[in-house]
Structure 1
Amino acid sequence: MSVAQKVLARLNRMQRGVPFPIGSFYELGSETSVQKAFSRLVKEGVVARVSKGFYARPKPLPSLPSIKTTASANEVARAWAKKHGYKLVSQGLESAYRLGFQTQAPMKAVYWSNGPSREFKIGNQIVEVRHIAERKLRWENKPEGALLRGLLVTPPQSVEVSDLKRAVQRLSLSASEVKMITRKLSSLPQLSEWKSKLQQLEQAT
């Protein structure tokens, strides 16, 4: 079986619309032969290049089967982070909005990461990845991580303890989880201005 045939056989087993790095195909042959196979398959419409080094199988829109889409910019950003082992979390403004600390949704999709800053653009979709200090990425996609990032971008004087209560309700946390998380957050130097309100939240839980 030729390299091109091996590439096509593997592609046909992959889910449509899910981005993947071309590097995962290099075990099938030389980099040059794999790249040539991909170049031909892109021209044939079998696969689409969605970002530098990343591809996806097009998938038809359920409402308009004749129109095919590829991966979203969000999905490509996540695939990029996974490939390189980078942390990737929603920016603080997004967390603050989802927790009810801010009423206006962010205008642009932005992620914080310990990887390099870069931008992903797919059609009209733009996702920005910003390199940021590791201490702001703690607890990645856990509830305490969302609270940490939401609090980091919100002035303490603009939030009451009642707002904090509603925020933890949105995260569906039990009383014991709230106590554990507020203790974690209270111990962080970067949240020193929040310590009093976090302690009040713990006592009120």
Structure 2
Amino acid sequence: MTQTIAAKALSRIYGKGRGWAFSQADFADLAGATTINSVFRRLVEEGTIRRVQTGLYDYPRYSDLLQQSLGPDILQVASALARKFRWQIQPDGASALNLMGLSTQVPAQYVFHSDGPTREYEINQTKLRFRRVATRETKFKHPESAVIVHGLKSLGPQHIDAKTIARIRDWLPDSQRSQVLKDTKTVTQWVRAAIREICKESVHG
């Protein structure tokens, strides 16, 4: 029974791809917490997954160039915590730009607005802060949508050029472009126009 659950859990992890962060809450449909945590412990011992924080893990990204695992993906970690605690989160503008590689400054912390309590985590020597904010912002289904929208808003329409569009397009995986297009139908017109440009390679017809 446990072997079957372990196989299903591993299939889910592989299916999400490298960089995905998760907690027991993401596997609650497979088994109880004790069984899932036992599976996680074995996968950590085998080096398949990595413990990021207490109760939080990731499937590490790997650099062929550096021949080593990379640090945790902050957006994935933030999203995993949001799912675990059932928070709605949105990155602030500066954090969105850093996540997409559009800022030259090395961030001291990443800040996400949240409808949950204000909390702070230390992730691989980087601070991840959730700040409770009463917001009426559109809630997006996909975290990448929120990052792009808040990043574009932080830049402003006068700073959206072909280079910026290309950088964001490179950051956003091909497989997620159609999802982001659907997810951002109601955003401000100029933001929506920029997102169409970012995603245009995956739009047909």
TM-score, length-normalised on structure 1? 0.56
Corresponding residue of 1:26 = 28
Alpha-carbon shift at residue 56 of structure 1 (Å): 1.5
Alpha-carbon shift at residue 62 of structure 1 (Å): 2.3
Instruction: Confirm whether residue 139 of structure 1 aligns to residue 138 of structure 2.
Output: yes
TM-score, length-normalised on structure 2? 0.56
Which secondary structure does the structure 2 equivalent of 1:50 belong to? strand
2:92–2:112: 8 Å Cα contact kept in structure 1? yes
1:23–1:53: 8 Å Cα contact kept in structure 2? no
Matches within 5 A, 1:186-205: none
Unmatched tracts of structure 2, length 5 or more: 99-104, 140-145, 162-187, 191-205
Candidates 168, 184, 189, aligned match of 1:177: 189
Corresponding residue of 2:157 = 168
Alpha-carbon shift at residue 110 of structure 1 (Å): 1.3
Change in 2 beyond 3 A, CA 1:68/1:177: closer
2:88–2:115: 8 Å Cα contact kept in structure 1? yes
Q: C-alpha distance in 2, partners of 1:114/1:34?
A: 28
2:24–2:33: 8 Å Cα contact kept in structure 1? no
Change in 2 beyond 3 A, CA 1:146/1:112: farther
* Cα deviations by residue, 1:125-177 (Å, 9 ceiling, x for unpaired): 22111111235xx2353858975xx6xxxxxxxxxxxxxxx8323358xxx93
1:94–1:105: 8 Å Cα contact kept in structure 2? no
2:115–2:132: 8 Å Cα contact kept in structure 1? yes
Alpha-carbon shift at residue 89 of structure 1 (Å): 2.0
Change in 2 beyond 3 A, CA 1:79/1:37: closer
* Cα deviations by residue, 1:29-73 (Å, 9 ceiling, x for unpaired): 3322221221122122121122333222223222122x2235323
Aligned residues: 149
2:23–2:56: 8 Å Cα contact kept in structure 1? yes
Q: What is the RMSD computed on CA atoms of the aligned residues?
A: 3.6
2:114–2:130: 8 Å Cα contact kept in structure 1? yes
Q: C-alpha distance in 1, partners of 2:62/2:96?
A: 32
Instruction: Confirm whether residue 39 of structure 1 aligns to residue 38 of structure 2.
Output: no
Q: Percent identity?
A: 26
Change in 2 beyond 3 A, CA 1:94/1:114: same
Give the number of the structure whose alpha-carbon radius of gyration is greater: 1
Amino acid at match of 1:10: A
Amino acid at match of 2:53: S
Corresponding residue of 2:63 = 61
Amino acid at match of 1:71: P
Matches within 5 A, 1:97-136: 107-135=108-136
Alpha-carbon shift at residue 96 of structure 1 (Å): 10
